[in-house]
Amino acid sequence: MSVTDKTILFGKNEDDVENRHAAMVLEEVFAALKEAGHNPVIQLVGYLVSGEPTYITSLHDARKIISGIERDELVEEIVRFYVKHRKL
């Protein structure tokens, strides 16, 4: 069996406190981006893909807030929310 045939497990515990923190960060940053007149979805995608903090406004310390959490934690929260709320 080649290495590409195996599933790599991304091992992290699902900690409710960590999940709530990521959700709060996303909500605060989304609101700040919207208030600043930006498209929050586009700006957050740019940040999550590139890691470049200048995609995030400094209004209400949004850039500082989002820099305090790992991007993978934010992506996990987005996926978790999507799966929980998707309509079939």
**What is the tens place of the pLDDT at every residue in 26-49?**
999 999 999 999 999 999 999 999
pLDDT at 67 over 90: yes
pLDDT, position 11: 58
Domain parsing of the chain, residue ranges: 15-83
pLDDT, position 44: 98
Report whether 78 contacts 47 (CB < 8 A).
Answer: no
Q: What's the pTM? A: 0.80
**What is the tens place of the pLDDT at every residue in 2-26?**
556 776 655 555 567 667 899 999 9
pLDDT, position 51: 97
pLDDT at 64 over 90: yes
Report whether 22 contacts 77 (CB < 8 A).
Answer: yes
Place of tokens 């290495």: 3
What's the 3-state SS for the chain?
Answer: CCHHHCCCCCCCCCCHHHHHHHHHHHHHHHHHHHHCCCCHHHHHHHHHHHCCHHHCCCHHHHHHHHHCCCHHHHHHHHHHHHHHHCCC
User: Between these two residues, 74 and 20, which has the higher pLDDT value?
Assistant: 74
